[in-house]
Amino acid sequence: MGKKIVIAGAGVSGLTLAERLTASGDGVSVTVLEKENCPGGLARTFERDGFLFDIGPHRFHTSDSVVSEYLLDILGDDHITISRLSNVYMAGKYRSWPLTMKSVSGLPFPVLFRSFLDLFHRKAKGELSTFADYVISKYGKNIYNYFFKDYTEKFTGRSARELHVDWAEAGVNRAVIDKNVKADDLFSLLKSILIPTPVSTNFYYPSYGGIQTFCDKQAERIQKNGGRIMYGCRALGVETSGGKVSGVKTAEMGVIPADHVYWSPPVSILFPDAGFRFMDTLLWNIALSKQQENHYQWCYFSQKDTLFSRLTVPRNFRADTVPSMADSLIVEITLNNQKERYDPESLKDRLIDELERVEALRASDIVFMDWRIIPETYPLYDLDYRKRLSSLVLPEGLDLTGRCGSFWYNNMDHSIGEALAISSGRTFSKDFWK
């Protein structure tokens, strides 16, 4: 009763926690501090002239019934169910993922043949400690070299041997391969190519607005339950007294008193010298006057001569994310500390050429192109990251949570799952990939 809880960050983690705590009837006072002027964090949506752009492809997919019950409770009837349609661009062609007989035909024969031979000697010896170890042990050297290595090195700006194995376990299993499709090692992948079994890989998406609709609805509930959300309020750190948390320092409102703080902004704000590094993403949101020939929801590009790593087509999530007869593209370029990429205008002409080259658009159909730099989109899992995380000393009453707060390469459903567990006193494993 009367306990003051401050939650830094109004992303999916902070909002789920605030929504549950304010709904619990425990009489706690809940304040959420958010530096932006709206909720959502990485699950935000930008709107211009009737075009809606999420931050890359955002969809809800979970096999956890508690999480799916919660998200359907928040969305109510305001959701649609869509089947997944993801692609990978390889050897000059769009190919569905997981690969099928049809989509592999046309891959260079030597790659296919050597990949087949890998079946017989792909098991790694010893401990798997890097991204490269993990992928080679699962798919063999040839598929690793042909796709995963280039994609990952282009994406992170790091050698695949300098990335912690968790980057592969969390990222590869989830982002490229759908859990419902058994393609999580070379043998299953080949089996799924040769004997494809129909699988339904559906996901949820709001029936109006973009992905941010979910967070808008959570924010409405929090306010209705008596919680407070302070937008445009940047948390700078925590205040302590006698080893216990006593408040959150903010840039705009001084110190907000707190008995307990849940922190979801980047952990590097609290521990600037601990070496936690994040990657930023440059998003180009492109509006097009006519529909293009893009049949995927999102597509991965591993080619090192292409600036972008992924393209998203909002119309294939829901038709009314663009005005009638129009189209759009969301282009993701990881910035990974390459200085020249922080000057988006200087990349524009090259980007348009590349998008034309992969037939993703016709330049003459471009209505507008907006760019945004989204900071801290991905934690960078270098080889020591676990050691650094476990050596942090936190004052009593402070919990690190969410994607950036706990340096966790997660998805929205994991953020929700963690917040539901915290608010109901359950334990939660962050190693969801295990």
- Considering beta carbons, is residue 146 or 300 the nearer one to ligand FAD? 300
Concatenating the DSSP letter of every residue in 93-146 gives: EEEESS--HHHHBTB-HHHHHHHHHHTTS-PPPS---BHHHHHHHHH-HHHIII
Instruction: Report, in Å, the least distance between residue 39 CB and ligand FAD.
Output: 7
- Considering beta carbons, is residue 107 or 230 the nearer one to ligand FAD? 230
Q: Go through 213-244 and write b for each residue having 16 or more CB atoms within 10 A of its CB, e for each that does not.
A: bbbbbbbebbeebebebbeebbbeebbbeeee
Asked if residues 310 and 57 have their Cβ atoms less than 8 Å apart, the reply is yes
Q: Which two tokens stand for residue 202?
A: 């559906």
- Considering beta carbons, is residue 4 or 234 the nearer one to ligand FAD? 234
Instruction: Report, in Å, the least distance between residue 332 CB and ligand FAD.
Output: 6
Residue 38, phi then psi, degrees to nearest 5: -150, 165
- Considering beta carbons, is residue 59 or 154 the nearer one to ligand FAD? 59
- The span from the CA of 405 to the CA of 261, in Å, is 12
User: Based on C-alpha coordinates, what's the Rg of the chain?
Assistant: 22
Residues 6+ apart with CB under 8 A from 394: 400
Instruction: Report, in Å, the least distance between residue 249 CB and ligand FAD.
Output: 10
- The span from the CA of 208 to the CA of 338, in Å, is 37
- Considering beta carbons, is residue 140 or 265 the nearer one to ligand FAD? 265
- Considering beta carbons, is residue 135 or 412 the nearer one to ligand FAD? 412
- Considering beta carbons, is residue 143 or 412 the nearer one to ligand FAD? 412
Using CB under 6 A as the criterion, which residues of the chain lie in contact with ligand FAD when the complex forms? 8-14, 33-36, 41-43, 55-60, 234-235, 264-265, 269, 332, 377, 402-404, 410-413, 415
- The span from the CA of 104 to the CA of 258, in Å, is 57
Instruction: Report, in Å, the least distance between residue 182 CB and ligand FAD.
Output: 21
- The span from the CA of 428 to the CA of 426, in Å, is 7
The residue among 240, 242, 231, 270 whose CA lies nearest residue 258 is 240
Instruction: Report, in Å, the least distance between residue 223 CB and ligand FAD.
Output: 16
- Considering beta carbons, is residue 137 or 401 the nearer one to ligand FAD? 401
Q: Go through 113-134 and write b for each residue having 16 or more CB atoms within 10 A of its CB, e for each that does not.
A: ebbeebeeebeeeeebebbbbb
Instruction: Report, in Å, the least distance between residue 300 CB and ligand FAD.
Output: 12
- Considering beta carbons, is residue 234 or 260 the nearer one to ligand FAD? 234
Residue 271's alpha-carbon distances to 142, 284, 394, in angstroms, are 40, 31, 10
Instruction: Report, in Å, the least distance between residue 12 CB and ligand FAD.
Output: 4
- The span from the CA of 360 to the CA of 311, in Å, is 9
Instruction: Report, in Å, the least distance between residue 269 CB and ligand FAD.
Output: 6
Residues 6+ apart with CB under 8 A from 188: 182
Instruction: Report, in Å, the least distance between residue 320 CB and ligand FAD.
Output: 19
